[in-house]
Amino acid sequence: MAKQSTAQIIGKRLLGAIPSVIGVIVVTFLLTRALPGDPAAFFAGPAATAEAIAEVRVTLGLDQPLLAQFFIYIGELVRGDLGVSLTTGQTVVYDLTTRLPASLELTLAGLVFAIALALPLGILAATRPNSWVDHGVRLLATAGVSLPTFFTGLFLVYVLYYKLGIAPAPLGRLDLLHSAPPQITGLYLIDSLLAGDLELFGVAAAQLFLPTVTLGLFALAPLARVTRASMLGMLSSDFIRTARASGFPPRQVLFGYAFRNAMLPVITTLGVVFSFLLGANILVEKVFAWPGIGSYAVEALVASDYAPIQGFILTMALLYVVLNLLIDLLYVVIDPRAGVQG
């Protein structure tokens, strides 16, 4: 059987994701309609009369039957119209595109921080099983996965900002004395470098430090544990013992053979952790006043604002589909045998 090409793998994964996306659209629509509160009453104001609220409900289309509302929603999705947020007065597409870079920058920074620590710690623990290093890594992993992200964030703010004064105030992506760089990617670290503004890069990095550590500690735990377990399995396998007996250098055996073959379960965990971080950063954004889509969704949820909640969940679902596609392609890159046989 011939191995499928990369384009065929991508096409097959995209076709397989269509039912998931349809299910997300249907479930999101129904769940948002089940939220407590009346968006028409919120939009009309606390002093509005029943007649005014009824007029607003007609304007928003909430007087239509549920099935009619669903088909209206599908038609708007096809046109790329996610509606208008009642809380901000802007279109949901505008709100999401302006806030999504902040969430992505925070999530990616937390993931990079976690990978930079988890992989070396997992390898170190696997090469020294039952040592104090191994016990320390397992203790760190247990603490990281047990502590809620909002507690970790508040603790870091209290110690590093309030007590020691070595971290900036948790006031968002930049302090009050600096303005955003010219928008190219929406990621302040990259945009400030592209603009050649190293001072702004330092300020943005300083503001990003505490929320990154908060998210990174949460992501570090599962990555370190899976890396350790996968490396332990590989180091005790027959082909590693054969490689050592054949006189291969220890570094080549460890990284060239054991670590490469241990990467597949780590990448699977990496995808799951990334999706968890997209949800966990909601609390982190509230703690650090980070203007991302997580805090945007929370504000919309409190106000029973349907459109932003639907747009947020749909965006997260599409990001998850893209992430799974990238993981499938990484499988093929790391181990060509993972390619689907056609």
The predicted structure's pLDDT at residue 212: 92
Count CB atoms within 10 A of the CB of residue 328: 20
Class of domain 96-302: mainly alpha
pLDDT tens profile 146-193: 778 888 888 999 999 988 888 888 888 888 888 888 888 889 999 999
pLDDT of 249 higher than 90: no
Model pTM score: 0.78
Answer whether 18's CB lies under 8 Å from 67's CB: no
* 212 CB-near residues (< 8 Å, 6+ apart): 106, 109, 110, 113
The predicted structure's pLDDT at residue 237: 82
From the number of C-beta atoms within 10 Å of its C-beta (0-12, 13-18, 19+), residue 253 rates as: buried
The predicted structure's pLDDT at residue 204: 92
Q: Taking all residues of the chain, what is their mean pLDDT, rounded to a whole number?
A: 81
pLDDT of 341 higher than 90: no
The predicted structure's pLDDT at residue 253: 79
Residue with tokens 């992506």: 173
φ, ψ (nearest 5 deg) of residue 90: -100, 165
DSSP string, 100-148: HHHHHHHHHHHHHHHHHHHHHHHHHHHHSTTSHHHHHHHHHHHHHHHS-
Cα-atom radius of gyration of the chain, to the nearest Å? 24
Closest CA to 170 of 221, 207, 215: 207
Each domain of the chain, given as residue ranges in start order, spans 7-78, 96-302
